[in-house]
Amino acid sequence: MTLLTPIPHLDQTLEALANVRAHMTRACRDCGRLEADVELVCVSKGFDAEAIQPLLASGERVFGENRVQEARQKWIELRRKYHDIELHLIGPLQSNKAAEAVDLFDVIETIDRPKIAEAIAQAMRSSGKNPRLLVQVNTGEEPQKSGVAPSELSDLLAYCRLSAGLHIEGLMCIPPVDQLVSPHFALMRRLSSDFGLSLLSMGMSEDFDLAIQLGATQVRVGSAIFGVRDRTEKPPISI
């Protein structure tokens, strides 16, 4: 896939977005899928409200953030102007931030263990809010990465559904950076089918077209739209 070289200037953001959309259209056409069946999640982590504004003005409404604190700082104010924003949590979550996550996010994609499932369930009962929920699968079983191992997915889904009372709609993954992604996407498609889940969040800036061809219903694209993030920024704040 050949995308525009990501350049983080505001006047090029819409051109980059159009390029991503064009690639999504082509990928859907190539595999006989409807473009409407694949949702673009614009990953705005690391970019401030000023960088996000052009996309909002153009009609984009679905955005992904990694950290609760950063998201709250940006999106509370933006939502006062754009009431129909759908905000996805795509980064790992600690149980002590579950209540804030449930309050802020419309979709939480990173349930990966019973403790997090229970914390989210308690927060949902207390707040009355019902974000859509996905389980993150660590397809490469990388020890440094969040997500449930594929072999343990069945037990976690059972816990979420039967013990925590959660409605899990789909799965999410981030394949290892040093491996071919297609086997990981194919595994996710099979797991999604096996467990009767409708949402499949996979594919990022470098591989979202392949993810679409292998069944993704959501692709998470950041640098191909916003440009390369500032590598001198402070280390991520744990959520």
Which pLDDT band, with edges at 50, 70 and 90, does 9 fall under? low
* 142 has pLDDT over 90: yes
* 236 has pLDDT over 80: no
- Per-residue pLDDT tens digits for 104-125: 999 999 999 999 999 999 999 9
Superfamily in which the 10-226 domain is placed by CATH: Alanine racemase (3.20.20.10)
Token digits of residue 23: 């690639």
The residues, ordered by sequence, that sit 6+ positions from 178 with a Cβ below 8 Å of its Cβ are none
pLDDT at 200: 98
Domain ranges of the chain: 10-226
Q: What angle do CA 142, 133, 104 make, to 5 degrees?
A: 105
How far apart (Å, rounded) are the C-alpha atoms in residues 125 and 165?
Answer: 10
- Per-residue pLDDT tens digits for 205-225: 999 999 999 999 999 999 999
- Per-residue pLDDT tens digits for 13-52: 999 999 999 999 999 999 999 999 999 999 999 999 999 9
Compute and round to an integer the Cα radius of gyration of the chain. 17
Q: 110 and 138 in contact (C-beta within 8 Å)? A: no
Q: 132 and 169 in contact (C-beta within 8 Å)? A: yes
Beta bridge partners of 218: 39, 201
Q: Which of 11, 105, 101 is nearest to 53 (CA)?
A: 11
pLDDT at 15: 94
Q: What is the DSSP string of 68-129?
A: HHHHHHHHHHHHHH-TT-EEEE-S---GGGHHHHHHH-SEEEEE-SHHHHHHHHHHHHHH--
Least confident of 59-63, 140-144, 190-194, 224-228: 224-228
What is the phi/psi pair of residue 167, to 5°?
Answer: -100, 105
Q: 14 and 58 in contact (C-beta within 8 Å)? A: yes
Mapped onto helix, strand or coil, the DSSP state of residue 40 is strand
pTM score over 0.75:
yes
pLDDT at 228: 80
How far apart (Å, rounded) are the C-alpha atoms in residues 74 and 78?
Answer: 7
Q: CA dihedral defined by 11, 15, 20, 25, rounded to 10 degrees?
A: 150
pLDDT at 154: 98
* 235 has pLDDT over 70: no
pLDDT at 12: 86
- Per-residue pLDDT tens digits for 48-78: 999 999 999 999 999 999 999 999 999 999 9
**Mean predicted confidence (pLDDT) in 189-201:** 98
Residue type, 134: L
What is the pLDDT of the chain when averaged over all its residues? 92
Which pLDDT band, with edges at 50, 70 and 90, does 146 fall under? very high
pLDDT at 77: 92
